[in-house]
Amino acid sequence: MANGSKVAFVTGAGQGIGEAIALRLANDGFAVAVADLNAETANKVAEKITNNGGKAFPVIVNVADRDNVFAGIQATVEKLGGLDVVVNNAGLGPTTPIDTITPEQFDKVYHVNVGGVLWGIQAAIEQFKKLGHGGKIINATSQAGVVGNPNLALYSGTKFAVRGITQVAARDLAEIGVTVNAYAPGIVRTPMMLDIAHNVGQNAGKDDEWGMQQFAKDITLKRLSEPEDVAAAVSFLAGPDSNYVTGQTIIVDGGMQFH
């Protein structure tokens, strides 16, 4: 493997939680494939890592496209010399009051949030088998994938699906040495969350702050999550300390709900 370092592939790594995960894993010693649909942001994050003495390269991936995901993971192995961890982080979170959901929205959100995870798992298995070793697959769900959130029928539905897929994959892949877990962020200060808060506020004729409070008011720790809070949990799932953990969803929401 390249310099003996482990290799991680992270989707949606151009901004928000994905960026924080890429930076954290690079800090943990991983060579990181910064996968994103947006070439500009992927390049920026990869540069941040390399300027900081880490090893990274940007890869343009549309997770809704199965061939694209396979090609991106293949490119990662060729470029970085291996693959140990795949983080299926990319996701869309549109605000969708029930009566507004369209077939186009349904297709788009499910293809990215659920399809992207399935294709990421498949592509990871293909490479782990070729490389002759196991690995770790880490999927993004959400506190909205543990309990339904208002106005988020599409998003919540996809995130519940990711938890189910994570559990099944954990059972199916244990025999080839692969663990599969998920992380469930709460209300994180990211472009996606700010967008949700804005839309929920608008729909109620209120401001963005009010929109954010609809989600944030139940946080036990009384503060919004920073992307780094989530990246810390993913660091645990990507490292050796979680080797005996599989099929689980780690909720990183500041205590919005207890399970």
Sorted by sequence, the CB contacts under 8 Å of residue 172 that are 6+ apart come out as: none
Which pair of tokens denotes residue 218?
A: 């139940």
DSSP 112: I
Q: What is the largest CA-CA distance in the chain?
A: 56
Place of tokens 């949030």: 113
Q: Are 87 and 10 in contact (CB under 8 A)?
A: yes
For residue 244, indicate whether it is catalytic: no
Q: What distance in Å separates the CA atoms of residue 71 and residue 112, rounded to the nearest whole number?
A: 16
The one catalytic residue in 110, 155, 183, 244 is 155
**CA pair distance 182, 63, nearest whole angstrom:** 17
Residues with catalytic function: 155
